[in-house]
Amino acid sequence: MKKRLGSVMLACSLAAVTMAGCSGSNSSGGGTTSAPTAADAGATTDATAAGDVKTLKWAIWDINSVFYYQPLVDEFERRNPDIKIEMVDLGSAGTSDYVTNLAIELSGGGTDFDLATMQSVPQYTTLVSKGVLAKLDDFVARDSWELAQYSGLTEQLTIDGALYELPFRSDFWMLYYNPDVFEKQGVAMPTNDMTWAEYDLLAREVADPTPGNEIYGTHYHTWRSCVQCPATLDGQHTVLDGNYDFYQPFYDMVVSQMEDGISRNYAELKTSSLHHSDAFAQGNTAMYYMGSWQIQGFINKIKTGEYTEIPNWRLAKLPHAPGVAAGDTIGTVTGISIVENSSKKDEAWEFVKFMAGPEGAGIIAGTGSFPAVMTDEVIAEIASMDGFPQDAQSKEAMKKGKLYLEMPISPYTTDIETILNEQHDAIMTGAETVESGIKAMNEQVSAILE
């Protein structure tokens, strides 16, 4: 009798607690998207007329090392005295902290955030499929917001006919090089118009693999994108193809360079915590390609005196496929979204427009980052920044051609990423040959795409 009563009570209390946990997650499930109506717009103006200040909570990363947040907020608050922005740092973008933290914060429908920054397209895709970002199409239509200024980016960001973020930053890959090394080795500098074959030759020419006095012709960060993405630049293939034979020439080039001592060893780089910018900054690396966001990093570290070996660093356009114009490169998109759960979507939209529009672009460019709206004025502004390389070639290098996304949008993104990552690691550590690694990619990804 006693035992049974005890069991029943235990079961009841456990059930009660479990229900409490469940109800939280169901409350927002499948919520209807709220499109702004005329009534809403009217209500907002009434509220602002009444003079109450609304505060928007904005999820960002690396608040100490990204310099455009505060100027953007200051200028926006100046123009909109009834809206305040509260910035909340959710972690670093150099690790997976920001992505994980934001996704957890936006789970379960109880979040009080209004704005969220989208660090990358995969993060954007994941959050859209979770249903936590608001559709922007009605806002765009209502205010006739010109999407053409983004040079086709917003088309690539549309999922199932809807847009969930406006891009405010668009970085693309460039070639960073150290002219001092080229001079010392008596080799001609990289130009803005090199094919990958020419790049390979140049790297081999300028390199010196003598142990103890190594000069590295080039440097590859350990991401798979550093080897795989350049292969998509002829526009013939994408990461979602299912057949990756087109990676072969690039893996052959990179692996052979590594084996010949032209670049650092992948296994060493993977286990070492040597950051790619630090590797270049050692002064013994002739060139390497990386995203344009690194420009700001170099400028600042040289200013603070931490980097002393690369005072004359310069930029060039990324090498291109034969037969394709120079300037086509790999791009990433950083965007701003409105949280679906927010009750202040209209105010949030005001900030989104500001940040992703020409005024925001000016402020972002002023701190050395590349805005999504990249006009000639913006390019000139960045080029005139203190610390930016002053040669004409570097300035010209900022003119990009077609942008290929590092990872296009698809429901299979994360699964494909896992497979490609695994095989990349296997090939680069020598656990598999280039052929067997690519074969494994083909097999495993095709299995998913069926």
Partner 1 sequence: MQTVDGNKYRNILYRVFLYICLLLLTVVMLVPFAWMLSSSLKLNKDIFVFPIRWIPEPIRWQNYIDIWKRIPLLNFLVNTVKITVIVTAFQLLTSSFAAYAFAKREFDFKNQLFLAYIATIAVPWQVYMVPQYIFFRQLGLNDTHLALIILQAFSAFGVFMMRQFYASIPDSLCEAARVDGMNEYKIWAKIMLPLSKPALSTLTIFTFVSTWNDFLGPMIYLRTDTKKTVQLGLRMFISQYAAEYGLIMAASVVALIPVLIIFLSLQKYFVAGIAMSGVKG
Partner 2 sequence: MKNKALSKRMRNNLLSYSFILPNFLGFLIFTLGPILFAFILAFMEWDGNHAMKFVGFENFIALVSNQRFLAALRNTVVYSLATVPCTLVVALGLAILLNQNIRGRAFFRTVSFFPYVASLVAVAAVWNMLFSPSKSGPVNMILYSLGWEAKSLPAWAASRDWVMFTLVLFSVWKNMGYYMVIYLAGLQGINSELYEAASLDGAGRMQKFRYITWPQLKPTTFFVTVILTINCFKVFDVVYMLAGGSNGILNTSAIVLVSHIYEESFGKWRLGYGSAVAMVLFLIVLVVTLIQFKGEKNYANS
Among 8, 11, 53, 104, contact with partner 1 (rule: CB under 8 A): 104
Among 31, 42, 110, 152, contact with partner 1 (rule: CB under 8 A): 110
Q: How far is the CB of 29 from partner 2 (least distance, A)?
A: 3
Residue nearer to partner 1 on the CB measure, 37 or 100 = 100
Residue nearer to partner 2 on the CB measure, 107 or 300 = 107
Task: Please report, as a single letter, which amino acid is at residue 333.
Answer: V
Partner that binds at residue 250, options partner 1, partner 2, none, CB closer than 5 to 8 Å by kind: none
Q: How far is the CB of 346 from partner 2 (least distance, A)?
A: 23
Among 94, 235, 311, 430, contact with partner 1 (rule: CB under 8 A): 94
Binding of partner 1 at residue 273 (CB under 8 A)? yes
Partner that binds at residue 90, options partner 1, partner 2, none, CB closer than 5 to 8 Å by kind: partner 1
Among 277, 332, 342, 423, contact with partner 1 (rule: CB under 8 A): 277
The DSSP bridge partners found for residue 332 are 171
Residue nearer to partner 2 on the CB measure, 20 or 50 = 20
Q: How far is the CB of 100 from partner 1 (least distance, A)?
A: 8
Residue nearer to partner 1 on the CB measure, 278 or 443 = 278
Q: How far is the CB of 289 from partner 1 (least distance, A)?
A: 16
Partner that binds at residue 354, options partner 1, partner 2, none, CB closer than 5 to 8 Å by kind: none
Binding of partner 1 at residue 84 (CB under 8 A)? no
- Determine contact, residues 130/118, Cβ cutoff 8 Å: no
* Size of residue set near partner 1 by CB under 8 A: 45
Q: How far is the CB of 339 from partner 2 (least distance, A)?
A: 11
- How far is the C-alpha of 67 from the C-alpha of 71, rounded, in Å? 8
Spell out the SS3 assignment of the chain: CHHHHHHHHHHHHHHHHHHHHHHHHHCCCCCCCCCCCHHHHHHHHHHHHHCCCEEEEEEECCCCCCCCHHHHHHHHHHHCCCEEEEEEECCCCCCCHHHHHHHHHCHHHCCCCCEEEECCHHHHHHHHHHCCECCCHHHHHHHCCCHHHHCCHHHHCCECCECCCEEEEEEEEEEEECHHHHHHHCCCCCCCCCEHHHHHHHHHHHCECCCCCCEECCCCCCCCHHHHHHHHHHCCCCCCCCCCHHHHHHHHHHHHHHHCCCCCCHHHHHHCCCCHHHHHHCCCECEEEEECCHHHHHHHHHHCCCCCCCCCCEEEECCECCCCCCCCEEEEEEEEEEECCCCCHHHHHHHHHHHHCHHHHHHHHHCCCCECCCCHHHHHHHHCCCCCCCCHHHHHHCCCCCEEECCCCCCCHHHHHHHHHHHHHHHHHCCCCHHHHHHHHHHHHHHHHC
Query: Whose CA is closest to 257, among 206, 297, 319, 309?
Result: 206
Partner that binds at residue 138, options partner 1, partner 2, none, CB closer than 5 to 8 Å by kind: none
Restricting to residues 21-60, name those near partner 1 by CB under 8 A.
Answer: 21, 24-25
- Determine contact, residues 237/214, Cβ cutoff 8 Å: no
Residue nearer to partner 2 on the CB measure, 108 or 249 = 108
Q: How far is the CB of 345 from partner 2 (least distance, A)?
A: 17
Residue nearer to partner 2 on the CB measure, 144 or 271 = 271
Residue nearer to partner 1 on the CB measure, 66 or 419 = 66
Partner that binds at residue 362, options partner 2, partner 1, none, CB closer than 5 to 8 Å by kind: none
- How far is the C-alpha of 337 from the C-alpha of 168, rounded, in Å? 10
Task: Please report, as a single letter, which amino acid is at residue 339.
Answer: V
Among 60, 72, 83, 93, contact with partner 1 (rule: CB under 8 A): 93
Binding of partner 1 at residue 296 (CB under 8 A)? yes
Q: Rule CB under 8 A: which residues touch partner 2?
A: 2, 13-14, 17-18, 20-22, 25-26, 28-30, 96, 100, 103-104, 106-109, 126, 129-132, 221-224, 265-274, 414-415, 418, 421-422, 424-426, 429, 431
Residue nearer to partner 1 on the CB measure, 156 or 300 = 300
Query: Whose CA is closest to 180, among 34, 339, 308?
Result: 308
Site for partner 1, rule CB under 8 A: 2-3, 6, 20-21, 24-25, 61-62, 64-66, 88-95, 97, 100-101, 104-105, 107-108, 110-111, 272-275, 277-278, 281-282, 293-294, 296-297, 300-301, 306-307
